[in-house]
A and B are shown apart, each in its own frame.
Chain A
Amino acid sequence: MLEIKGLRASAGGKEILKGIDLTVNAGEVHAVMGPNGSGKSTLAQVLAGHPAYEVTGGQVLYEGEDLLDMDPEVRAQAGVFLAFQYPVEIPGISNAYFLRAAYNEIRKAKGLEEVDSMDFLDLLEDKLRIVEWGPEIMSRAVNSGFSGGEKKRNEILQMAVLEPKLAILDETDSGLDIDALRIVAGGVNALRRPSHATILVTHYQRLLNYIVPDQVHVLSAGRIVKSGRKDLALELEAKGYEWLEQEVGAAS
C-alpha cells in the first residue's frame, strides 16, 4: 500500500529526514517510535503533504501512485488521513459542518453524491459511538475550547467518518489520560480492516498496550535505525532510547 524509498525532507533549510525506507502493506499496523527531534512527526506530516516541509529526495508510492506529487486534499481523497498532533481550532463553524464538508468532498472525488445534513447525522450516530460521544459535540465549533483529550478524540471521530485506507496517527496518545487513551485506542482498533493500514507515530510504548502493531520502527536523527516486532517497543521502554543510540553509534 505504501512504499517509502530514501525519503529526505527539510524545514527552514534544515534536513530532518535523511533517507527513510519503509513499506506498509494493507492490513498492517506499524509503530514509528523515536526520541524527540528524531523526525517521526515530520515523517507523518510529509506523508500528508504539510507545506512547511520540503521534500529533497526519495520517493513515496501510495497504491502505486506518486504520493508526493499529490496536493494534500488529493491525498485525503485517495484515502490518506493524518490525525494531527495538535489539531487546529476553527471557531465559527461547527464540528458537524466541517466534517460534513470534508465527507462530501471525499465522496465527490469518488464520484458519489453528496449527503445532506439529515443523512449525515444518521451516519454520525454510529461513528460517535466509537469515540463514546453524544451528539452535542457536533454543534460545538471545531476543536474550539476542546480539552487536549477531546481534540484527540475528535481526530479519531474524523477518521471514523472519513474511513481512510491509510491512517497516520501523529502522537495521538501524547497528553492523554488513561480513559482518553482507552477510547482513542478503541477507536483505532474498531477501524482496523484487512484492506486498511495504520501508522502510529508515538514516543511511548504505552499506546502499544492497546493497539498491537505488526512492526515497530525506531527513528533516530532522521533515519530508521531499527525495526522489529512488537517486543522491540518493550525493549525500548525498558532500556530507553539512549541504549539504541549507543548501539547504533557503536555499529557505525
Chain B
Amino acid sequence: MNGAYLQEFGARSGTATADGPEWLEPVRRAAIDRFAASGFPTARDEEWRFTPLAPIAHSTWRQAAGASHAVTRQDLTPFIFGHSEWTTLVFVDGAYSEALSSTAALARGVRVGSLAELLRADGVILQQHLARHAPVESSAFTALSTAFMRDGGFLYVPANTDLKRPVHLVFVSTHEAAGRVTHPRNLIVIERGARASVIESYVTVAEGTSYWTNAVTEIVAGANSWIEHTRIQRESEQAYHVALTHVEQQRDSHYRSFSLAMGGALARHNLHAYLNGENVETLMYGLYLTRGEQVVDNHTAIHHNQPNCRSWEVYKGVLDGRSRAVFNGKVFVKPEAQKTDAKQTNRNLLLSDTAKVDTKPQLEIFADDVKCTHGATVGRLDDVALFYARSRGVPAHKAQLLLTYAFAAEVTSEVVLEPVRDELDRLVRERLGAL
C-alpha cells in the first residue's frame, strides 16, 4: 500500500514549484524517504498499541482535490461561531476557500492567511518555521504531512502585539473527500510578548462519509507570549482523523490548549509541548465524548526541559455504546528542569457496560527537586450524587444528564475566551442531549 504514496509523491515532483519554494523540496523528499523506510506504525509499536490503524494502513488514500464549490456559507453556519469581526479561514477538502473565509482588520504586522498562498510567496518566517519543529523522524503521519502538505492556516503575530480578535481555522470535509486524504498543515508563530487565540475546527458537511484527515499544527510561542489554542474535532463518525500539535515554548510563555474530540471512527491526537525556557506555563485541557464504535485516542507529551516551569493537564472522557478511549500522558523532566511543577489528571465516565478506556500516565523524571503528580479514574456516575439531585425533585434520567453534563462542563469551563467556552458548552449539551 505504501508504494502508492511514493508513486503519488513521484508524480508531483515534476511540478514541484507548484507545491512551494525550492528549499522545501529536499525537506519533502527526506519526509517521504522516512515514510518509505518506516511505513505506518503497527500494533507492535508501543505508541500505537491501542490504536487500530488498519483501516488507514490497509487502504490507499489519494489526496483530495479540494472542492470549495461543494459548500455554501449556509452549509457552514453550524460550525462558525464567535463574532463577525473574527478572522475565519475556511478550507474545503484541504484547500483554502477565499469566498467562504472572512478576514478581520488586523494589528500592524500581523499576517494571517492560507499556507498555499504563503508557499507561493515564500519568505523568512516560512523558512524559519515550516516543518522545522514537528519532527518527521518520530511519526509516519508527520512524514506524510510534510511530504504532501499543500494548504492550511498560517498566523504570524509580531512581538508585543495583541491579536485581539481570534483566528478560527475551519477544515470542512465534503462527500467529494470520500476515500481520500487531506493533510491540513498549520503554522502559528506568536512572537515575544504577543498574545493570540486560535481555534481549529475539523468538521464535515457529509456525515457518514469515510475520509481521512491527517493534520499537523506547529506552534511557536515566543518569550513571554500568551496563547489560547482550542481544537474542535467534529469529523464524520465514519472518518479517520490523525493529528499532531507540536508546541515550542520559550521562556515565560503561557500556552493553554483545549481539545474537544467527538467525531471520527478513529481519532488520534498527539499534543506535544516542549518547554524550552524558564518559567513556562503549559495548560492542557481535553474532553472526549464517544459513542457507537468510535475510538478516540489522545496522546500528550510535556517536555520539561528547563527549570521553574509548570504544567497542568486535565483530560476527561464520557464514553457510551461500544466506544473506546485511549489516554496516554507523558511528562518528561530533564535533569536540569529543577523546580518543575507538573500535574496530570485523566478522568473517565462510562455510560455503558461495553465502553472501554485504556489510560496510562507516564512520568519520566530525571530531576530531584520537582513536584509531579498524576491520577486516572474510570467510573460510573456517583449514586449518592444521583440521589442528591433526585432528592431535589430532578427525575432520574435528568439527574443522570445533569451530572454527566457537570462532569464535562468542569473542564470546558477552563476555556478563557467566552464565545469559545459557550460554543464548547453548546456542543457538549447537544451531544449529551442535556437540559
Contact = CB atoms under 8 A, between A and B. Distances in A.
Interface of A: 48-52, 71-73, 75-77, 81-82, 84, 87-88, 90-93, 98-99, 101-103, 105-106, 109, 141-142, 158, 162
Contacts of A84: 388, 391
B435 A76 contact: no
A227 B373 CA distance: 54
A50 B402 CA distance: 19
A194 to B, nearest CB: 23
Contacts, number: 80
B407 interface: yes
Contacts of A91: 406, 410
A105 B384 contact: no
B395 interface: yes
Contact of A72 (B385, B391, B407, B408): B391
B396 A73 contact: yes
A72 B406 contact: no
A105 B388 contact: no
B403 interface: yes
Interface in B156-180: none
Interface residues of B, number: 26
Tell me which of B393, B402, B405 has the highest count of chain A C-beta atoms within 10 A of its own C-beta.
Answer: B393
27 contacts: A48-B391, A49-B387, A51-B383, A71-B390, A73-B391, A81-B391, A82-B391, A84-B391, A87-B388, A88-B385, A90-B385, A90-B389, A90-B403, A91-B406, A92-B406, A92-B410, A98-B389, A98-B392, A98-B402, A101-B402, A102-B389, A105-B392, A105-B394, A105-B398, A141-B410, A158-B392, A162-B393
Contacts of B206: none
B409 interface: yes
A110 B385 CA distance: 24
Interface SS of chain B: helix
Given A92-B409, A92-B413, 7 more contacts: A81-B391, A90-B403, A98-B392, A103-B393, A105-B395, A105-B398, A141-B406
Given A73-B393, A90-B403, A92-B408, A101 B387 contact: no
Contact of B409 (A48, A93, A103): A93
B410 to A, nearest CB: 4
Interface of B: 382-385, 387-396, 398-399, 402-403, 405-410, 413, 435
Given A49-B391, A71-B396, A92-B405, A101 B385 contact: no
A109 B393 CA distance: 9
Contact of B390 (A73, A81, A99, A142): A73
B362 to A, nearest CB: 26
A73 B396 CA distance: 7
Contacts of B403: 90
B88 to A, nearest CB: 29
A93 B391 contact: no
Contacts of B409: 92-93
A101 B408 contact: no
Nearest to A144: B410
A174 B284 CA distance: 40
Contacts of B387: 49-51, 72
A77 B393 contact: yes
